[in-house]
Amino acid sequence: MPEPYALLIEGGTIVDGSGERGFAAAVGVRDGRIELVYGPTDQIRAERRVDATERVVTPGFIDLHSHSGLMIFADPLHEPKVRQGVTTEVIGVDGLSYAPIPDPTDLEALAHINAGLDGRPDIAYDWSSVESYLDRLDGLRPSLNLAFMVGNSALRIGAMGWDEVVASADDLANMRAMLREAMEEGAIGVSSGLDYPPGAYASTEELAALTAEAARGGGFYHTHVRYDLGDRYLDPFREAIEIGRLGEGPAHITHFYHRQTFPDGPGPMLALVDDARADGQDVTFDTYPYEWASTRLLIMIPPWAQSGGPVQTKERLADAGVRDRIRREMAERGVLFAGRRAWDDVRIGAFTVPELIPWEGRTLGDVIADRGDDPVDVLCDLLLAEDLRVNQVTPGPWTETLRDFIRHPIGMIGTDSTFVGAKPSPRTYGSFPRVLGQFVREEALLSLEEAVRSMTSAPAARIGLDDRGLVRDGFVADLVVLDPERVRSNATYDEPRSYPDGIDRVVVGGTIVVEDGAHTGARPGRVLRRGG
């Protein structure tokens, strides 16, 4: 007689992540791995039984874009994510990884300049290599699994500092060597965020060389594109695909979406991806299902003004001549300073200075109106007063075209979740449940099976996990038990820190992390190293 299962989830419908129709079976878990059990289960022994009658059992969701690389140290329970059913998330995105960074002063500076995006928890920043950083995360035992990308900003800082310069052949060789070592230590690829210096100073060719190195180690290129490039519509995405082609590696466009301000629709954007794939190139994308973007307020300051790192950036923000130049450039672009409305839509947060805390969750427009000062002066003054730390939430994906990306067969989910400020984008708490509740159940935009596939086996394949992302014999028991009639996001622009309904149970590596919709306090997560 076999040993009893540690866990048996019985009575439910399995939507196994393959995209195939759901079927009736029980899921037995032994040694953290799945065994499907067909037929009656009353004779099956288990230490723990979960009744999944009228529920759907799926693989755990995989989030291709998360900003938890520092904040998880302060909050390893990571409730906003596990309560959505996320069992693995990708960190080190947007070019902004916190390893490898050989010099502790540089690690300090990178955490400082990104505080409005990635937070700056009061922890010991006592790692430098990828191996030491991943060991720290493993030692933490977070509630979910993490997969790590090497950011190209980290590589640039290590090889050539913070300046706006062209990489020499030696610089390139150094960056490739650092990346090679990082891949050997378990990274899954290289990321870029081409709005964020110093990674933003990288050329197409430099990024192609890094992509080639990542691909050699079995990884891929994950990119927040250069939104300012060329026509500011298709050219940024053309460059991403070109980088994959030149580097002969997979290219993944993160937070791929269409803005209302673009000169034409989403069709030509998606056609770029479809055409590249038809040509045999491995191009994929993720998107987040909310209309609200979020990042550090510093993103409003042009890259040239950030050359040299945080100290020089602050010197420039204090300089009246620099402020004039920023004002001129922004006026020429006609995007941000076109009128009151642009300011109205920039909600700011993550304040720590007592006089500024009342502005938490208000808009930049409110502050400008209150102060009666020039907008650029208000912006620079706020950044200086908060030591660059401010977060912003702004309009992102257009409501009318969001669905084109969600239902596209290549589309996956990257929440782009941030964990700073009282009112982050609702995507941090609601992304996966919104797709399942609104787009699957209410609108029938795509089937439950197809949505689950895009959240599980598709991203598992993208990041190279060969024993996760499916409910299949021998696979790791990362699982979600959800109520298809009740699942929904409760996170909104006004109340973003609201947990979803209908995600009843979440299991990570065979351990129950969410039970009856509440966190159990369990922390079974670990780092999923490439090849590990």
The footprint of Zn ion (CB under 5 A) covers: 94, 416
- Contact, 417 vs 350, CB < 8 A? no
| Minimum gap (Å) between residue 97 Cβ and Zn ion | 12
Between CA 265 and CA 260 the distance in angstroms is 8
Nearest to Zn ion of 125, 196 (CB atom): 196
| Minimum gap (Å) between residue 353 Cβ and Zn ion | 25
DSSP string, 261-321: TSSS-SHHHHHHHHHHHHTT--EEEEE-SSSEEEEEGGGGS-GGGGTT-HHHHHHHHT-HH
Nearest to Zn ion of 375, 421 (CB atom): 421
| Minimum gap (Å) between residue 255 Cβ and Zn ion | 7
- Contact, 66 vs 417, CB < 8 A? yes
Long-range contact pairs involving 511-515 (C-beta distance under 8 Å, separation at least 24): 511/32, 512/7, 512/48, 512/50, 513/82, 513/87, 513/143, 513/144, 514/82, 514/83, 514/85
Say how far residue 278 (Cα) sits from the centre of its chain: 27
DSSP string, 51-92: E-TT-EEEEPEEES-B--TTHHHH-TT-HHHHTTTEEEEEES
| Minimum gap (Å) between residue 371 Cβ and Zn ion | 30
* 3-state secondary structure (DSSP) of residue 349: strand
| Minimum gap (Å) between residue 37 Cβ and Zn ion | 40
- Contact, 456 vs 88, CB < 8 A? no
| Minimum gap (Å) between residue 152 Cβ and Zn ion | 14
| Minimum gap (Å) between residue 96 Cβ and Zn ion | 8
Nearest to Zn ion of 209, 402 (CB atom): 402
| Minimum gap (Å) between residue 147 Cβ and Zn ion | 15
Which single residue is written with the structure tokens 């300073």? 337
Nearest to Zn ion of 131, 416 (CB atom): 416
- Contact, 292 vs 425, CB < 8 A? yes
Nearest to Zn ion of 33, 259 (CB atom): 259
Nearest to Zn ion of 89, 94 (CB atom): 94
Nearest to Zn ion of 35, 291 (CB atom): 291
The CA-atom distances, in angstroms, between 473 and each of 10, 13, 20, 468 are: 15, 16, 16, 11
Angle at which helices 152-160 and 204-216 cross, to 10°: 110
Beta bridge partners of 221: 190, 251
Nearest to Zn ion of 14, 463 (CB atom): 463
Between CA 343 and CA 304 the distance in angstroms is 23
Quote the DSSP letter at residue 531.
Answer: T
Nearest to Zn ion of 404, 416 (CB atom): 416
| Structure tokens belonging to residue 303 | 């890259």
| Minimum gap (Å) between residue 484 Cβ and Zn ion | 30
| Minimum gap (Å) between residue 504 Cβ and Zn ion | 29
Nearest to Zn ion of 416, 504 (CB atom): 416
